[in-house]
Amino acid sequence: MADKELIRLNNITKNYRVGTEVVKALRGITINIYRNEYVALMGPSGSGKSTLMNLLGCLDTPTSGEYILNNKDISKLADNDLAEIRNKEIGFVFQTFNLLPRSTALDNVALPLIYAGVGRVQRNKKALEVLDQVGLSDRTHHKPNELSGGQRQRVAIARAMVNNPSIILADEPTGNLDSKISLEIMGLLQKIHEAGNTIILVTHEENIALHAHRIIRLRDGLIESDTRNNNVVRLESLEAAI
């Protein structure tokens, strides 16, 4: 299975200085994540899960330890190099959607392709394809304030997918949605996973974590447990609930 390894964290620590105090947010995290896994990261406030998410998403670097992504050690890369990896390797889905308010759904989805240097015709073609995949081909020219919360999150998911990243990193993706729309979004993420994508889901909600196939729980900067989920919520039951 080693050839399918996507992420390897070896004894990762992260310290922050707050005034004269050093806060040890991560105290030695070792995790392997494989291609096409669906992993949920859980933990109470202060557990280190947000810090770990930032490191996995190349938004921050560890104090010590090794982060291997796609067979490349990215633990000590400069900010510009990390930005390039973020754009190529990681698709982000945030609780607050993070869409550009004055841009259409199409332009929001195409944005990562601009940074990747893709020409307008090709990036619009690709953006249209992924908008169709998330069921929004009829909303391409709508701006965020013309979309429902669920539709905005679908745009955000399409944007995360547009570069064919190695990882979809979803941070509390249903946090601002009602229960019915949350099920729809989790059903969409399940379909994306079944299509071959690796998903890392950060959540504090047990019922949302149960959509993942593996649940990693953190507490006090350490891994408390790392278990297979034998009760995965399946798409069939989702469709029955919607």
Q: What is the pLDDT of residues 180-197, one digit of tens each?
A: 899 999 999 999 999 999
Q: Which residue has the tokens 């570069």?
A: 163
Q: Per-residue DSSP letters for 107-127? A: HHHHHHHHHTT--HHHHHHHH
One CATH from 3.30.420.40, 1.10.3080.10, 3.30.230.70, 3.40.50.300 for 37-49+80-241? 3.40.50.300
pLDDT of residue 142: 98
**Residue-range domain boundaries for the chain:** 37-49+80-241
Contacts of 155 (CB under 8 A, 6+ apart): 97, 99, 105, 108, 109, 131, 134, 136, 139, 144, 147
Determine contact, residues 233/210, Cβ cutoff 8 Å: yes
Confidence (pTM):
0.91
Determine contact, residues 114/103, Cβ cutoff 8 Å: no
pLDDT of residue 70: 93
pLDDT under 50: residue ranges of the chain: 1-2, 237-242
The token pair at 127 is 């953006």
Instruction: Please name the helix (run of DSSP H) or strand (run of DSSP E) that holds residue 130, with its range, or none.
Output: helix 120-133
